[in-house]
């Protein structure tokens, strides 16, 4: 499922916030399309836009990075694994991925 997500990342006293497109969203994580790469293992705070207009805040960890296009099908980006989801977050994610 494709979705635009707001990503926040902090490194020391610096903080970044920007929107990224997903190509794949599941209960386990998401593939975030980006030419800006975070380090594998880095923790990101994500705001997933829900159809209601609300945002679902989740925490993810960068699991892997893909810097090159794959036959112009997949864009560069990062695989992010969701971590420490609450039951409510898991339920909202499940509803989101089923739509």
- Tell me, what CATH number does 32's domain have? 2.40.10.220
Write out pLDDT tens, residues 23-66: 788 889 988 888 888 889 988 888 887 777 788 888 889 999 98
Asked if residue 34 is part of any domain, the answer here is: yes
For position 40, what pLDDT does the model report?
94
Q: What is the maximal distance between C-alpha atoms in the chain?
A: 38
User: Looking at the domain assignment, is residue 19 inside a domain?
Assistant: yes
- Taking the model in full, what pTM does it have? 0.79
89 or 98, greater pLDDT: 89
* Contact (CB, 8 A) for 65 and 37: yes
Residues of the domain holding 67: 3-91
Asked if residues 16 and 69 have their Cβ atoms less than 8 Å apart, the reply is: no
> Which residue, among 44, 50, 55, 49, has the nearest Cα to 79 in the 3D structure?
44
Is 96 within a domain? Answer: no
Q: Residue 48 domain-assigned?
A: yes
In a domain, 98, yes or no: no
In a domain, 7, yes or no: yes
DSSP 53-83: S-EEEEEEEEEEEE-S-BTTTBPSEEEEEEE
pLDDT in tens, 87-97: 998 998 888 88
Report the pLDDT value the prediction gives residue 51, as an integer from 0 to 100: 74
Within a domain: 73:
yes
**What total of structural domains would you count in the chain?**
1
């Amino acid at each position: 499922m494709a979705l635009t997500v707001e990503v926040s990342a902090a490194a020391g006293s610096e903080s970044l916030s920007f929107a990224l497109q997903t190509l794949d969203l599941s209960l386990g994580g998401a593939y975030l399309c980006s030419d800006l790469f975070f380090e594998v293992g880095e923790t990101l705070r994500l705001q997933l836009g829900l159809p209601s207009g609300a945002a679902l805040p989740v925490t993810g960890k960068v699991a892997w990075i893909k810097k090159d296009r794959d036959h112009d099908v997949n864009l560069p980006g990062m695989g992010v694994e969701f971590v420490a989801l609450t039951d409510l977050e898991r339920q909202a994610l499940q509803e989101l991925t089923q739509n």
